[in-house]
C-alpha cells in the first residue's frame, strides 16, 4: 500500500516517468559530448592507448590546416544555399498545396515521399542518377541536343560528370540535400499557412492588396515564426549532415571540393584514426549551432504570435 501512495506523489512519479528520457539524453548525448570535449584537448588516437592532455594544440593544428579551412567554407556554402533553396521552394510548394485541386492528395503524397525513404538509400538512388557514364540526366540532355555534340550549350563531351567536376559536385550535393529537406519545410509551412485566419487574408483582398503586396505585407510577416523554425531545422540538418556528401562524393572530387566539417571529422577521426583531431573538428559545430539556435529562437520570440 505504501508503495502505491508513494507513486501518487507527483515528484516521485514524475521522476520515474522522466527517467528513460533522462538516461537517453545523458548516456547518448551528454557522455559522448563530454568525451569529445575531453578528446579534443588530448592526443588520443585509435591505435595508441596513451592519453595525454595537449591543450589547444589540436585546435591550432586544424585552424592552420588548408583542408579544414576549405571544409569550413564548404559547410557554410552548403548550408546557406540549401537553406535558402529549401525555404523558397517549400514556400512555393506549400502555396500550391493549400489550394484545392483535383489529385491534391497524390501530389501531397509525392512531396512527402522523400521523407519516408532512408537518407542513405535515397542518396544511393541519386548516385546512379548522377553516374559519370550511365546518368539518365545526361542521356536526357543528349537527346535534347544540349550535350555531346560540337556546339551544344553544355559542351561537346558525352557526359557532364556531375560528381567529378568541383562546382557541379557541390551543386549535386546541394540538390540532393534540398530534395530531402523539402518535405519537412513544406509541411511546416503548410501548417503555418493554415494557422493564418482566412478572414485576415480576405480583408487584404478587399483592402486592395495584390499577390505580392499580400505576400510581403501580410503572409510573410505572419509566417515569420514558422519560417524561423524551418530555418532552424534546415540549418541544423544541413550543417551537421554528412550522409549526402559521404554517399555521393566522399568529400571529393579533389581537392576536397565538397568536403564539409562533418565528413572531415569522420575522415580524420574514424578513417584516419586521429580521434583527438576528429573531436576538435566536430566541436566546431557547437558554438556555431548554439549561436544559430539563439538567433533564430530570439527572432521567433519577437515575432507576433496570433
Partner 1 sequence: MARVELIRVKKYFDRVRAVDGVDLEIRDGEFLALLGPSGGGKTTLMRLIAGLEKPTEGQIIIDGEVVNEVPPRSRGIAMVFQSYALYPHKTVFKNIAFPLVVEGLKKQEIRKKVEWAAGLLHIGHLLDRLPSQISGGERQRVAIARALVRRPRVLLMDEPLSNLDAKVRHTAREELKLFQRGIGVTAIYVTHDQTEAMGLGDRIAIMNEGRIRQVGTPDEIYNEPADTFVAGFVGIPPMNFIEQDDLIVGFRPETFLPSELISDKDAQRFRLKVERVENLGSNRLIYGTIGKDKVISNLSSRFNSIKEGEEHDFSVLSQDIRYFGKDGARIKR
Q: Which residue in 218, 236, 225, 237 sits closest to 189, CA to CA? A: 225
How many residues touch partner 1 under the rule CB under 8 A: the total is 20
Place of cell 568536403: 259
CB 268 within 8 A of CB 278: yes
Quick one: 176 or 193, whose CB is closer to partner 1? 193
- Residue pair 49/273 in contact by the 8 Å Cβ criterion: no
Q: How far is the CB of 188 from partner 1 (least distance, A)?
A: 19
C-alpha grid cell, residue 240? 551537421
Residue 301 interacting with partner 1 (CB under 8 A): no
Minimum distance of partner 1 from residue 219's CB (angstroms): 11
Could you give the string, one character per residue 215-254, with x where binding to partner 1 holds by CB under 8 A and - elsewhere?
--xx--xx--------------------------------
Considering the rule CB under 8 A, would residue 298 count as an interface residue with partner 1? no
104 touching partner 1, by CB under 8 A:
no
Residue-wise burial string across 55-83, b where 16 or more C-beta atoms lie within 10 A, e elsewhere: eebbbeebeebeebebbbebbeebbebbb
* Max Cα–Cα distance, the chain, nearest Å: 89
Cβ-based nearer residue to partner 1, 222 or 264: 222
Rg (CA), the chain: 24
Site string for partner 1, 175-214 (x = CB under 8 A): ----------------------x-xx-xxxxxxxxx--x-
Q: Which residues bind partner 1 (CB under 8 A)?
A: 197, 199-200, 202-210, 213, 217-218, 221-222, 303-304, 306
Amino acid at each position: 500500500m505504501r508503495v502505491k501512495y508513494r507513486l501518487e506523489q507527483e515528484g516521485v512519479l514524475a521522476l520515474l516517468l522522466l527517467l528513460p528520457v533522462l538516461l537517453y539524453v545523458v548516456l547518448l548525448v551528454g557522455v559522448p559530448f563530454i568525451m569529445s570535449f575531453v578528446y579534443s584537448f588530448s592526443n588520443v588516437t585509435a591505435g595508441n592507448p596513451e592519453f595525454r592532455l595537449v591543450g589547444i594544440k589540436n585546435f591550432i593544428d586544424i585552424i592552420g590546416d588548408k583542408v579544414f579551412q576549405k571544409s569550413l567554407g564548404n559547410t557554410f556554402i552548403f548550408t546557406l544555399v540549401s537553406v535558402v533553396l529549401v525555404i523558397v521552394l517549400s514556400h512555393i510548394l506549400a502555396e500550391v498545396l493549400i489550394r484545392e485541386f483535383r489529385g491534391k492528395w497524390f501530389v501531397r503524397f509525392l512531396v512527402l515521399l522523400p521523407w519516408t525513404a532512408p537518407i542513405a538509400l535515397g542518396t544511393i538512388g541519386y548516385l546512379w542518377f548522377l553516374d559519370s557514364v550511365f546518368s539518365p540526366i545526361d542521356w536526357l540532355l543528349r537527346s535534347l541536343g544540349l550535350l555531346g555534340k560540337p556546339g551544344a550549350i553544355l559542351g561537346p563531351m558525352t557526359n557532364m560528370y556531375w560528381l567529378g567536376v568541383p562546382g557541379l559536385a557541390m551543386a549535386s550535393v546541394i540538390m540532393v540535400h534540398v530534395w530531402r529537406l523539402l518535405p519537412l519545410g513544406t509541411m511546416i509551412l503548410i501548417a503555418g499557412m493554415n494557422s493564418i485566419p482566412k478572414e485576415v487574408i480576405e480583408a487584404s483582398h478587399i483592402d486592395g492588396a495584390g499577390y505580392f503586396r499580400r505576400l510581403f505585407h501580410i503572409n510573410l510577416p505572419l509566417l515569420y515564426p514558422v519560417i524561423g523554425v524551418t530555418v532552424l531545422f534546415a540549418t541544423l540538418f544541413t550543417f551537421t549532415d554528412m550522409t549526402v556528401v559521404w554517399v555521393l562524393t566522399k568529400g571529393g572530387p579533389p581537392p576536397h571540393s565538397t568536403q564539409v566539417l562533418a565528413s572531415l571529422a569522420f575522415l580524420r577521426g574514424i578513417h584516419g584514426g586521429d580521434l583527438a583531431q576528429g573531436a576538435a573538428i566536430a566541436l566546431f559545430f557547437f558554438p556555431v549551432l548554439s549561436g544559430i539556435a539563439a538567433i533564430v529562437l530570439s527572432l521567433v520570440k519577437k515575432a507576433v504570435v496570433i
